[in-house]
Structure 1
Amino acid sequence: MSRPPFPPFNAETAVQKVRLAEDAWNTQDPEKVSLAYTPDSHWRNRSDFILGREEIVTFLTRKWQREQEYRLIKELWAFRDNRIAVRFAYEWRDVSGQWFRSHGNENWEFDENGLMRYRAASINDQPISAASRLFHWSETRRPDNHPGLSALGL
């Protein structure tokens, strides 16, 4: 199994890899998302340590049950060889209707087939009002004309 683009990354392929990851996560389909990772992928997500696709699916299923109306934007921060650093923000609401904007950074490492074998994510949640939301799109994919993080001042 492979997932282009493949390392070593250049500016164009790194941006492409980030957008493909954003698009996949915005589907909120744990099975689909898990296929971008090696079968033995290692994750640190906040204080959770996750190993392999089965645990990824379990984790993401739980995440998206809690984080409703999830909308994510990722932006390339840096890259080299088979590694990419990303900053991101996503908006979501909990079951009580409280909105949040979660900000974070991720470090990614890929195998030669373009599958992510390591992911470390640090994330902070900020309560926001519904009127403060900035991520407004109805499709599962962020429209190409929707501003990214830098354009939104995030």
Structure 2
Amino acid sequence: MARPPYPPFNAETAVQKVRLAEDAWNSQDPEKVAQAYTLDSQWRNRLEFINGRQEIVTFLTRKWERERDYRLIKELWAFQDNRIAVRFAYEWQDQAGQWFRSHGNENWEFDGDGLMRYRVASINDQPISATDRLFLWPEGPRPGSHIGLSSLGL
């Protein structure tokens, strides 16, 4: 299975790849998201090491059961050849009703078919009040009219 755009990336295709990833993650569909990764994809996400699509599905299922009302914005930071670096923020609510904004960076490496084979994520969680939320669109992809991280001052 191939997943355009393909490396080597240029400014336009790198931005496109980042937005496609953001939209997929905002679907909160673990099976759909996992299709963008190689069968043997390797991740480091916070303290967890995840290997392969099935572990990705398991991880994302657990993540979105815990992180309710999830809304994510990703922004391109840098790219070269088959690698992309992004920064991101997402808002979510825990089961006790506490809101958080999680900030982080990801480094991605892709194979020739445009599938991500390597992902490293570093993430910090910041408790916020419901009135401090900035990501207020309905569940699903961020609308094209909603501003990004830099415009939000994040």
What TM-score do you get using the length of structure 1 for normalisation?
1.00
Residue equivalent to 1:63: 63
Distance in 2, Cα, partners of 1:41 & 1:124: 23
Residues 75-103 of structure 1 show CA distances to partners (whole Å, capped at 9, x for unaligned) of 00000000000000000000010000000
Deviation of 1:14 (Å): 0.0
Count of matched residue pairs: 154
Distance in 2, Cα, partners of 1:151 & 1:142: 14
Residue equivalent to 1:72: 72
Distance in 2, Cα, partners of 1:99 & 1:58: 24
Residue equivalent to 1:42: 42
Residue equivalent to 2:94: 94
Letter matched to residue 90 of structure 1: Y
Identity of aligned residues (%): 80
Q: Where do residues 102-117 of structure 1 align in structure 2 (5 Å cutoff)?
A: 102-117=102-117
Q: Where do residues 4-153 of structure 1 align in structure 2 (5 Å cutoff)?
A: 4-153=4-153
Gaps of 5+ in 2: none
Letter matched to residue 151 of structure 1: S
Distance in 1, Cα, partners of 2:139 & 2:85: 26
Question: What root-mean-square deviation, in Å, do the aligned CA atoms of Structure 1 and Structure 2 show?
Answer: 0.4
Secondary structure at the counterpart of residue 39 of structure 1: strand
Q: Is the 8 A contact 2:106 2:119 kept in 1?
A: yes
Residues 96-120 of structure 1 show CA distances to partners (whole Å, capped at 9, x for unaligned) of 1000000000000000000000000
Residues 37-88 of structure 1 show CA distances to partners (whole Å, capped at 9, x for unaligned) of 0000000000000000000000000000000000000000000000000000
Distance in 2, Cα, partners of 1:148 & 1:7: 24
Q: Is the 8 A contact 2:71 2:139 kept in 1?
A: no
Letter matched to residue 37 of structure 2: Y
Distance in 1, Cα, partners of 2:143 & 2:111: 29
Secondary structure at the counterpart of residue 145 of structure 1: coil
Letter matched to residue 116 of structure 2: M
Deviation of 1:139 (Å): 3.7
What TM-score do you get using the length of structure 2 for normalisation?
1.00
User: Which structure 1 residue ranges, 4+ long, deviate > 4 Å from structure 2?
Assistant: none
Q: Is the 8 A contact 2:69 2:139 kept in 1?
A: no
Deviation of 1:29 (Å): 0.2
1:2 aligns with 2:2: yes
